[in-house]
Amino acid sequence: MKPGQSSEARGRRMATKGRPRPASTDTAPVQDDIGVEARVVAGILLNAALEKRNGLDEALSQPPARALAPVDRAFARAVAMAALRRLGEIDQILDRRLQKSPPEAVRTLMRVALAQTLVLETPAFAAVSTAVKLAERDPKTRPYKNLVNAVLRGVGRDGPGLTTAESNLPDWIAARWRTAYGEAALTGLALAAREEPPTDLSLKPGVDPAAIAEAVDGEVLAGGTVRTGRRGDVAAWPTFEAGDWWVQDAAAAVPGRLLGVKSGETVLDMCAAPGGKTLQLAAAGGQVVALDRSAPRLKRLAQNLERTGLTAEVVAVPAEDWDDARTFDAVLLDAPCTATGTFRRNPEVLRATRPADVAKLADVQHRLLDAAAERVKTGGRLVYCTCSLEREEGETQVIAFLRRNPAFRTVPADPAAVGAPAEALTPEGWLRILPSMWAEHGGLDGFFAARLERVS
């Protein structure tokens, strides 16, 4: 077992086509006696995530989720996340046993039950019994309680049957990724979408990665990121209060390293929240200005700066509206995007994103790139990145930018030097990181990053 992999990742390395196998999870305790209300909330969270982006997190902060005990709330979230990651497969299983589609509330009950039994290893009798109880107590679902019982017991008796990992991806996204990256890469991405990701830590300079890895039962990845399968409140983990590290996916740490900040250089982080890259740039010795349009999201950055003892000038303002004449040695633009590369942590992005969102955000990225270029000193450098797998938000943006900005050129990336997978290097010298890379270590978020230099 790889120490950096989560228990879901270790337990669910399945073929593209095959039977879903039960797997354990350390996200939350799996207990037979966790109350019925936790299952109710799991359905609420699942539907909230399917309705809109960030819906799950919003629902967690509202009643009835807030009324649950912490262990029940954690269980409800774990069930909802498992259902989101396997939604296509769960629906394949259900549709084979349903002559016609039942009301959405009934389907939600069955989705929640199958997420428990097929992914989280909840005993079938407990999941089925609770689903039937829930169906019976709601007048809208009561007429379907026998159907719920029959379908779920049938799956338990006969097994789930064959399912496809690709079914967990919306058709339009699967088609885009097949065209952009090929059939083999699509298979890898579909498998990655099933997995619960590990937790990655970026360390302050001078902190021993091996010591932190030992303390959190993890491993040290290329670039110095520490990866752990540990779950729970990170504030209780070793040396958190000492400010030795912060949570940041291994891929998200690459653009900051690619910028190559030296001590004393002036640095602008244009879309800084939640702040992991700002901490990196400050830790490298840069004199950092961190901009973001969201003052509430910058509070987390301010808290982490205080905890780690790092410093940066934090300004709550849209980057393109910032009224300041300064230019910088280095500029980082982690632009707003569809975030489809983060589907391992945020499986709801695949359901919440629409084709029109890609074009809409590409226009925002275009404007921000031009604003970023104006902030770069002659001889300075600009790193543009997004956590999207859509080429319009990555490669296409840089191609168009270089055409309209002849003063800039690409500086080819060295994957080994910045802690990126070797296969992420593109022919142009950019980095295209796919979540299926480093699968033996538990994968990583999807990212695009390009380093550009103002030459005249």
Active site residues: 387
Residue 24: other Cβ atoms inside 10 A: 15
Tokens of 418: 């910045």
Burial annotation 71-100 (CB, 10 A radius, 16+ → b, else e): ebbbbbbbbbbbbbbbbbbbbbbbeeeeee
Query: What's the sign of the alpha-carbon dihedral 159, 165, 168, 170?
Result: negative
Q: How far apart are CA 73 and CA 353, in angstroms?
A: 26
Q: How far is CA 114 from CA 100, 149, 362, in A?
A: 19, 12, 38
Q: How far apart are CA 190 and CA 157, in angstroms?
A: 27
42: CB partners within 8 A, 6+ apart: 75, 76, 77, 79, 80, 83, 112, 115
Q: What is the DSSP letter of 20?
A: -
Rounded to 5 degrees, what are φ and ψ at 383? -110, 125
438 and 367 Cβ atoms separated by less than 8 Å: no
Residue recorded with tokens 């990256």: 181
Residue 424: other Cβ atoms inside 10 A: 23
Q: Which of 261, 230, 266 minimizes the C-alpha distance to 247?
A: 230
Q: What is the DSSP letter of 205?
A: T
Q: Which of 23, 55, 362, 61 minimizes the C-alpha distance to 195?
A: 23
361 and 310 Cβ atoms separated by less than 8 Å: no
